[in-house]
Amino acid sequence: MQWTNDSRLLGFILVGFSDQPQLELILFGVILFLYFMTLLGNSTIILVSLLDSKLHNPMYFFLSHLSFLDLCFTSSIVPQLLVNLGSSDKSITYGGSVVQLYVSLALGSTECVLLAVMSYDRYVAVCRPLHYSFVMHPRVCSILASMAWLSGVTTTLIQSTLTLQLPFCGNRKVDHFFCEVPVLIKLACVDTTFNQAELFVASVLFLVVPLSLILMSYGNIAQAVLKIKSAIGRRKAFRTCSSHVMVVIIFYGTIIFMYLQPTKSRSKDQGKFVSLFYTVVTPMLNPLIYTLRNKEVKAALKKFMGKTL
């Protein structure tokens, strides 16, 4: 039988929150504000990390990558979301959906790995302080960051390509506000067992494995900190890790809810709002968390603001 794929000609319709029109205008204003704060906050982190020589170390090197990731990730989704919320036209071109799918998945997967790399950096800083400059040499940091980016690009080339090869048989309505693998698999009009299995394997590789490494790193850090006799020393050690721990909890908490929880156990609206949180709110929170809880960043910001004013 010859399958027809009208969606490749006409694109998709992002249903989003159109079933709650009274909510769309409110969401438009809130998301626009959060997007502006995301751009401002993450751009500031990148700029300060580059300009302040005191922040030229592995921790802020990886933080700059995280901020750049968040900028690109939210920008791959939010502009189209704002267009759809602000008008009656909920469509997205096929080319636009392809770009959104490939880019958002690559960046999201990269962030999973990058957070694990950042936890390893904190592990070496706390548990192997005398070897820190050797272990986290700039060349090693560049290799680790490159591996994170490469892993994200690799998984999106595989997952997105396999998903887009599925026949949709004219099904154009995506019951979500952006194109991602799980919702597009649901549109397919053929058996998707292989795609579901591949998605599960990818979820384990990019969620369970990095999170396990993060837990191992912080387990060792906790043991090392508890051995420190000085209360001031313990507080200092915990302070160097607290920002990253908060970011990990927020990011992985929402992602695991979406990708590892059985679909039947959550409502459609619940899934949309959780997705909204990790695509819009989390990228905005990250720079705030690192700024408010980090004396070095706050000092660099004051120095930078003093020079500009």
Residue type, 47: L
Q: Judge whether 145 and 61 are in contact, CB under 8 Å.
A: yes
For residue 4, what are the contacts with CB-CB under 8 A and spacing of at least 6?
167, 169, 170
Give the other-Cβ count within 10 Å of 2's Cβ: 4
Q: Which residue has the higher pLDDT, 273 or 58?
A: 58
CA 74 to chain centre: 8
pLDDT at 2: 42
226-252 pLDDT per residue, tens: 887 777 777 777 777 788 888 888 888
Give the other-Cβ count within 10 Å of 207's Cβ: 18
77-93 pLDDT per residue, tens: 999 999 999 888 888 88
In order, the DSSP letters of 128-159 are -GGGHHHHT-HHHHHHHHHHHHHHHHHHHHHH
- In the structure, what pLDDT confidence band is assigned to residue 1 with cuts at 50, 70 and 90? very low
DSSP annotation of 266 reads S
Strand order, beta sheet including 173-174? 91-92, 12-14, 173-174
For residue 30, what are the contacts with CB-CB under 8 A and spacing of at least 6?
none
164-188 pLDDT per residue, tens: 998 888 778 888 889 888 888 888 8
pLDDT at 80: 92
**Residues facing residue 14 across a β-bridge:** 174
- Please provide residue 198's backbone torsions phi and psi, each rounded to the nearest 5 degrees: -65, -40
Give the N- to C-terminal CA distance of the chain in Å, as an integer: 69
Catalogue the E-assigned strands of 66-140: 91-92
Q: Can you say whether the dihedral through the CA atoms of 175, 177, 182, 184 is positive or negative? A: positive
Q: Is the pLDDT of residue 108 over 60?
A: yes
147-163 pLDDT per residue, tens: 999 999 999 999 999 99
For residue 119, what are the contacts with CB-CB under 8 A and spacing of at least 6?
213, 214, 217, 218, 244, 248
